[in-house]
Structure 1
Amino acid sequence: MLSRVNHKNFVNLIGYYEEDEPFNRMIVFEYAPNGTLFQHLHVKEMEHLDWSARMRIIMGIACCLQYMHHDLNPPVSHSNLNSHNIFLTDDYADTIADISFLPQDSSKSKSLGNNELVHSTLAPLADVGTNVYCFGILLLEIIFGKLQYSKEQGINYMIDPTLKSFKNNELDLICEIIQECIQPNPRQRPTMKDITSKLREVIAISPDQAIRRLSLLWWVELEILSIEVT
């Protein structure tokens, strides 16, 4: 399932290793040196992200989810979408990871606010509506620093205090998308294709700009590593 997701904003699956004596299993992914989105949003010692960096991350996540929902056949959704599973590259592009590899058990689903249920692995099309809901909650966290949401509390438009500046038109759009994504009825939620279309109308970041920029230094490091291995 993971090897089917071939998108530059999804963590690259490098390989799989197994050994029987001693028993060992390992899945190898590319290294994202700047930690997780959660750390940059909530850990005081980490470098905080400015407005443009957050818009780039949002665009990258949206484009990757659109690919997963609309370009793959059959479609899949990332059913454990949260800031712990968003890793940042050396130039702070986002790579979405799914690091839950236990067999799926519908009797042990995880519960979100608003009675949403998500499983611990990449899920089939039936969970796309939940995936969109999770994306809305992730937007709340990225812009407002909120870790939880409840219908009773509603959306409190107190922007993350670590943000020194922001663009009003982009903020208005994000708030509109959040409201649409967290609709109680999944049928009333937008598709990821609808969401990326709206984002691209207002946010001046193309899908190509949202992916990792490969620098000359990166290629040099890769060549050094390959020589050391051989």
Structure 2
Amino acid sequence: MAIYIGEKIFIKNFGFYVDCIQNRDFFLHYADSDLLKDVTRYSRQELEVACEDFSNIIGSSSDSVVYKGTMKGGPEIAVISLCNQEEHWTAYLELYFQKEVADLARLNHENIGKLMGYCVEATPLTRMLVFDYASNGTLSEHLHCEEGCQLSWTRRMMIVIGLAKGLKYLHTEIEPPFTISELNSSAIYLTEDFLPKLVDFESWKTILTRSGNNFRSIGSEGAAMCVQPSSLEERHLDVEGNIYAFGVLLLEIVSGRPPVCKDKGVLVDWAKDYLEEPEKMALIVDPALKHFRDEDLEAIREVVAICIHLRPRDKVNMEELSRMLESKLDTTGSSELKASSLAWAELALSS
């Protein structure tokens, strides 16, 4: 249903009205709906102050910029800002933005980055997502920079189990399920206690892609068209892609190698020979690690082989993979403590 007041159109959709302005054969608009009534809305000024005039950039792409900030008297935040010009902002983009905010806001798990709120302003055109920031940087930084030595074998196993639990929650414990748009070590943030947090910083791409598909289908239907809920694409669900990416992440965590590097090429291709011969699997372990547990490594090998389809089997899910890892991995650090004690004893005997 559309209600006309002067040059404005109020379009009923998803139980709310969207305030639109006609512009040729499509409309640009500003919206504030009941869909987001339970999600905190921040002003641009609040976020600008928190992010030091948006100077503290911690990531960027052609579609978005990520800022780090600190709310007054509150937590550290990560703010994702969409790079889009007002003349290119369509009704479909607005609706998809609101759906994405609502979708992210429903996620609640200790291994998933928490959406704290959003920002919507007309001048300048502002569309932002505000996440709780895990202050220990990304998993990628810890694995591939000098800080990698901080990730002991036990910490790596704890991260593996945290990631498995987070993906199990997203895939099997909420309805509808949710998948991470681009699952890699740069999408995993670590807390001070090295608890992993999955953050979908690439969710903007799903908004732009789905909106683009709808916009191309508009054709020449004219300016005053009512956007029907049935015309909006659902969020792309790629469970199989997430499971494959999880397998690659396990290899990356154990080996300390990036998914692609100059000397070894593609990580999965390099690792296949070792995965197929258990007795050689120890050769894949990050040389920076002084100790590791053989039983843990074998469990990782089994799960990776399933994830990257080396082992033919029926369709697998994260609930099963998480159960396998939780039952077999040791996160107590007992093996490292034992190895350390033996090393001290040997040193004492030799002195």
What is the TM-score of this pair, normalised by structure 1?
Answer: 0.75
Query: Structure 2 CA distance, aligned partners of 1:64 and 1:180?
Result: 18
**Residue 146 of structure 1, aligned match among 257, 273, 289:** 257
CA displacement at 1:2 relative to structure 2:
1.1
- Identify the residue that residue 243 of structure 2 maps to in structure 1: 132
TM-score by length of 2: 0.50
Moved over 6 A (4+): 184-187
Structure 2 CA distance, aligned partners of 1:142 and 1:153?
13
1:59-87 CA deviation, whole Å, 9 max, x = no partner?
Answer: 11100111111111121222311000000
Over residues 167-217 of structure 1, what are the superposed CA-to-partner deviations in whole Å (9 max), with x where a residue is unaligned?
A: 1101110011101110069974521111111112112459xxxxxxxxxxx
2:316 to 181, 184, 190: 190
- Bigger drift between 24-33 and 170-179 goes to 24-33
Q: Secondary structure at the match of 2:160?
A: helix
Q: Give per-residue Cα distances to partners, 1:113-143, cap 9 Å, x unaligned.
A: xxxxxxxx9632xx21111111000000000
Code of the residue aligned with 1:140 in structure 2: it is: L
**How many residues are aligned here?**
191
Relative distance call for 1:204 and 1:150 in structure 2 (3 A) is closer
Letter in 1 for 2:115: L
Cα distance in 2 between the residues matched to 1:186 and 1:89: 36
1:82 aligned to 2:196?
Answer: no
Correspondence 1:173-188 to 2 at 5 A: 173-183=299-309, 188=314
Contact kept? 1:129, 1:186, Cα under 8 Å: no
Aligned residue in 2 for 1:21: 123
Check 1:52–1:184 CA distance in 2 against 1; reply closer, same or farther (3 A cut).
closer
Does 1:35 find its partner at 2:137?
A: yes
| SS state at 1:105 partner | helix
Asked whether 1:91 is paired with 2:193, we answer: yes
Return the structure number with greater strand share: 2
- Residue 25 of structure 1 deviates from its aligned partner by 2.2
Q: Aligned residue for 2:342?
A: none
Determine what percentage of the aligned residue pairs are the same residue: 37
Comparing 141-150 with 194-203, which one deviates more in the overlay? Answer: 141-150
CA RMSD between the two structures: 2.6
Unpaired segments of 5 or more residues in structure 1?
Answer: 109-120, 207-230
Q: Which residue of 1 aligns with 2:111?
A: 9
Does structure 2 retain, via aligned residues, the 8 Å contact 1:17–1:27?
yes
State the 1:28 CA deviation. Answer: 0.9
Please state whether the residue corresponding to 2:272 is helix, strand or coil.
Answer: coil
The answer to which structure, 1 or 2, has the higher relative contact order (CA under 8 A, 6+ apart) is 1
- Deviation track 1:17-55 (CA, whole Å, cap 9, x = no partner) reads 122112222211112111000000001256530011111
In our comparison, the structure showing a higher alpha carbon Rg is 2
Residue type at the aligned position of 2:209? D
* 2:227 aligned with 1:123: no
When residues 42 and 196 of structure 1 are mapped into structure 2, their CA distance, relative to the original with a 3 A threshold, is: same
Gaps of 5+ in 2: 1-102, 213-233, 260-266, 275-280, 333-351
| 1:105 paired residue number | 209
| In 2: Cα distance, 1:41 partner to 1:168 partner | 21
* Offset of residue 4 of structure 1: 2.2
**Paired AA for residue 290 in structure 2:** K
